[in-house]
A and B are shown apart, each in its own frame.
Chain A
Amino acid sequence: DTGVSQDPRHKITKRGQNVTFRCDPISEHNRLYWYRQTLGQGPEFLTYFQNEAQLEKSRLLSDRFSAERPKGSFSTLEIQRTEQGDSAMYLCASSPFLDISTEAFFGQGTRLTVV
């Protein structure tokens, strides 16, 4: 297993366009998280899934954002009608749901630039 994989690594889009990112977590990790990181800041929590169920969404996740994890494996994050303020690094992380382990493994991220 090569860890958490995110695609694409970079995305440049024009304002108003829709974009979709994909995350493949580590095999058999039940928990999958999405974070957003702007330049010079720490990652901010967006949402997380336990298997295919989306259990929590941050107030940062406006109605233009939607995330899915249809079969409890990979996940997608879609941003509709992108705005310049959406420019950021979007990070995905996964965790095994074990009582003694809460370690989150992060992917390399997708850097979004909205022009």
Chain B
Amino acid sequence: GENVEQHPSTLSVQEGDSAVIKCTYSDSASNYFPWYKQELGKGPQLIIDIRSNVGEKKDQRIAVTLNKTAKHFSLHITETQPEDSAVYFCAASRGLNQGGKLIFGQGTELSVKP
């Protein structure tokens, strides 16, 4: 069935360092890959997404790369700040025309130490 694996489950970095979170997916029909940030007691918030026709996307300190052949995608956060501390989830979807439901990874708890 559809599955998304996410690693690592926890990640601790020093302020200013980079953080990388990796995901692999099983459904070759997936074509939309969002990343969500979830703070304690809140709902997930979209931070960046990428579609299957693009290999890389960047938004300020955040970037995502996609390798469709290998079925994996990664989140890169540079110059980390304490406010980046949260749980990050990757997800995969076949897109709105096939329902739009998201299959989520298990999450990565990122801790940025001042």
Contacts and interface: CB of A to CB of B under 8 A. Distances in A.
B73 to A, nearest CB: 15
A103 B44 CA distance: 12
A92 B14 CA distance: 34
Interface residues of B, number: 27
11 contacts: A4-B43, A42-B106, A42-B107, A91-B44, A99-B96, A101-B96, A102-B100, A103-B46, A104-B100, A106-B45, A108-B41
A2 to B, nearest CB: 13
A56 B89 contact: no
Interface in B38-59: 41-46, 49
Interface in B1-58: 4, 6, 32, 34, 36, 41-46, 49
Given A41-B106, A108-B41, A108-B43, 14 more contacts: A4-B43, A33-B100, A33-B102, A42-B4, A42-B6, A42-B89, A43-B102, A91-B44, A102-B96, A102-B100, A104-B100, A105-B46, A107-B43, A108-B42
Nearest to A107: B43
A45 B103 contact: yes
Q: Which 5 A-B pairs have the closest CB atoms?
A: A42-B104, A106-B43, A45-B101, A108-B43, A102-B96
A10 to B, nearest CB: 10
- Between A91, A98, A102, A109, the greatest number of chain B beta carbons within 10 A of the residue's beta carbon is seen for A102
Which range contains the number of A residues in contact with the other chain? Answer: 20 to 34
A4 B42 CA distance: 12
Interface string A33-59: 101000011111100100000011000
Given A91-B44, A108-B42, A41 B107 contact: yes
Contacts of B44: 43, 91, 106
Given A43-B89, A91-B43, A91-B44, A98 B96 contact: yes
B97 to A, nearest CB: 7
Nearest to B2: A45
Contacts of B114: none
